A and B are shown apart, each in its own frame.
Chain A
Amino acid sequence: MTLALPPYARLLGVTVECAGDGPPRFLMPYGVAVMGRPGFLHGGAIAGLLEIAAIGTLMAALEGEAAARIKPVTVTVDFMRGGRERDTFAAAAISRLGARIANVEAFAWQEDRARPIAAARMNLMLGREYDTSLSPAG
């Protein structure tokens, strides 16, 4: 499976790995584009990575629904540890995928997945198109 990332993800240098059946894993390499105060990543870059992971994971789950449109409604980001000058990973899990709304949680970590540096909860609006011929109600 391939996942097309938006121009903003390319600006941050984010890449995605889709291995097997598991959720995709996102990588944001350390570089000047994600630098914040000296020695640390920028909170905005971490939040950007979390949003890319949340939306990308949702896109992967909606694969085949070419007409599905995703619009972020709210995001809450918790910053748990300072991000250091090294690669950052992220992955997301869909808590609920409804007809109109998806609730997604994303985590970012560096050397140890069990020690996240930040997490985000995102609520997104979906514009899914249904095959109404399958539904008796039409």
Chain B
Amino acid sequence: MTDYNYKSCTGCALICEDILYSDKEAVTQARNICRKGQAHYQSLFAERTKPMIEGREASLDQAIARAAEILKGAKSPLIYGWSNSSSEAQAVGMDLAERIGAAVDDPSTYCEGLFMEMVLKGEVPSCTLDDVRNYADTSIFWGSDPSSSQPRHLSRFSYFPRGEKRQKSYEEERTCIVVDVRESPTARLCPNTTYRVGPGEDVQFLEAILNVLEGKIPKFGDKKKMIELGSVLKKTEYGVIFPGRGIFPSLQDKMELFSDLMARLNEVSTFKAIPVAGGFNTRGFNQLLLDRTGYVKSVSFQQDNGKIIHRPEDSLAGAAKRADALLAFGSDPLAELPVGVARALAKVPMVVIDSCRSITSDEARVVIPSAISGLEAGGTAIRTDGMKVSLEPFMKTDRLAEKQILTRIMEAM
């Protein structure tokens, strides 16, 4: 125990701060860390990137100079990624985007971005995860599977822990409801309160909930089960909805339905929403972009005067088709984006700032190695519920942090 020190983990958006880490013992290195976090820690020793230009090894200075050259020469560059970088690196990246007139986007544009927008703009009420632990008695995972994406979500905050007002916790006081297209690992924990919906049927399900709350017979799904759900929601004292990337495809054009549902639920009782973010600092990026531009995603800066443009055609798919240079950091776009967008991006000259080898770094024209945020480089990040967390680096490295690399690219221009 004496050899162990508290560290934080940037493996997912929960940013757990109770990881006990020891570099003295040969076998056991981290306690209380989930499998996802363990893989993140192991990436310290995995295939690390080297500075590369056109597939050949180069010096860091050369790589930075070449990256600056590519970005400077581009007419409509795209800067993608952001979500696994510290807030400081994001701020420098945003300065760079403004200067070169780049389009800016992150993975949340295909995931929980719209929900994050509603939360950040105050259109739906939200709370912190600590409030969830202390007060919440109903947690609804809609289109999200925290057991897989944020493994410690249920055990740290939403279902199993005993909180200030919830001393009897999952045994008596808490209810976990899962709405998903498949029997996810989270759904296995609450088989009686799992609602299976088909792909794209979330809208009907949402309308059925509204019907049940008004005392009407629902037109969708198992009527008895839906009425049961209605009575659970009515009895709830403090409910929290965790919308994930699963409901994005069916609700993306009808987001007002979600705010209607939240408004209706708040007439019955207290209900909050906390989107389940992907990268550890996805919310940080959304917040930064909102502060700077008034939008949370898919923004372009005009080349000459830095004017902000936000149009449907400036969405990621449009920007990817138009782009003639890509700067990716804190993400692996070719692996995570829909195939059409990834294919369009693969043809573009890519500059990648990444700590480990990825599909994107294999295809990139310039690769610049970086330190891993939270483990080798410090900074601050915003947790999925909006809490600001400061990250203390604990591994020594001679690699530059993303913030320093982006600053040097700006200087080289």
B is a partner of A = no
Interface of B toward A, CB cutoff 8 Å: none
